[in-house]
Copies of this chain bind each other. A is one copy, B any other.
């Protein structure tokens, strides 16, 4: 069954037996979200959580017309689990930033799985622990770093082999800055000789320097 295969790709769920997975699959709901569409809104009751089978989703907060991205998920991943397990409401927005396929798993189904398979619970806990650490670091970055070091840290974090594709606007939303500021910091890093820019591809030229300003 195709949905079972999708669930199996999620590291959290992969150790489940086929029968467990098909049980989940049978009561889960699959949905398509075109890029730009909203998956859930803050205040909405969290009756379950979401498995991202395909695509990319951003979780973000808004206030006074400003936006702060909390986290971007790429397939395979799951999200919305924290609100789901407290049994309360989602605290933030979830929006597809690419055409996405999502599987919704009702809380009750998953809790019964957790009760019969403690390893899954431990695994989920370790995922949540990692998310706590991630958010702790995000807080550090938002509160204690200046614009230049935020951008430097962003490049270091998202780089692959000394290179990365860079969307100014997206970076700005993640870093809690405006696109203009990000652009200026990029120019500064360029003039310092730390990076090189060609279109929307950034190449790290001086790793050590970048680490120093981070």
Indicate whether A8 reaches chain B with its CB closer than 8 angstroms: no
- Which residues of chain A from 61 to 79 have a CB within 8 Å of any chain B CB? 61-64, 66-68, 70
Query: How many copies altogether?
Result: 2
Assess A91 versus B142: contact at CB under 8 Å? Given A114-B122, A118-B121, A121-B122.
no
- The yes or no answer to A207 lying at the interface (CB within 8 A) is no
* Alpha-carbon separation in the docked complex, A40 to B72 (Å): 30
Q: Which residue of B lies closest to A119 (CB)?
A: B115
Residues on B with beta carbons closer than 8 Å to the beta carbon of A66: 143-144
Q: Known contacts being A86-B133, A126-B86, is A142 close to B142, with CB within 8 Å?
A: yes
Q: Do A114 and B118 contact each other (CB < 8 Å), given the known contacts A129-B83, A136-B61, A144-B66? A: yes
Q: Taking A91-B137, A137-B91 as contacts, is the C-beta distance between A129 and B86 under 8 angstroms?
A: yes
* A35 vs B66: C-alpha distance when bound (angstroms): 39
Q: A134-150 CB contact bits vs B (8 Å, 1 = yes)?
A: 01111110111100000
Alpha-carbon distance between A111 and B129 when the two chains are bound, in angstroms: 14
Q: Within 8 Å of chain B (Cβ to Cβ): is A125?
A: yes
User: For the complex, is A158 an interface residue (Cβ under 8 Å from B)?
Assistant: no
Q: Are A136 and B85 in contact (CB under 8 A)?
A: no
Any B CB within 8 A of the CB of A128: yes
In the complex, 12 of the A-B residue pairs with CB atoms within 8 angstroms, ordered by the A residue number, are A61-B144, A62-B144, A68-B143, A86-B133, A91-B137, A111-B122, A128-B128, A128-B132, A131-B132, A132-B132, A139-B142, A143-B176
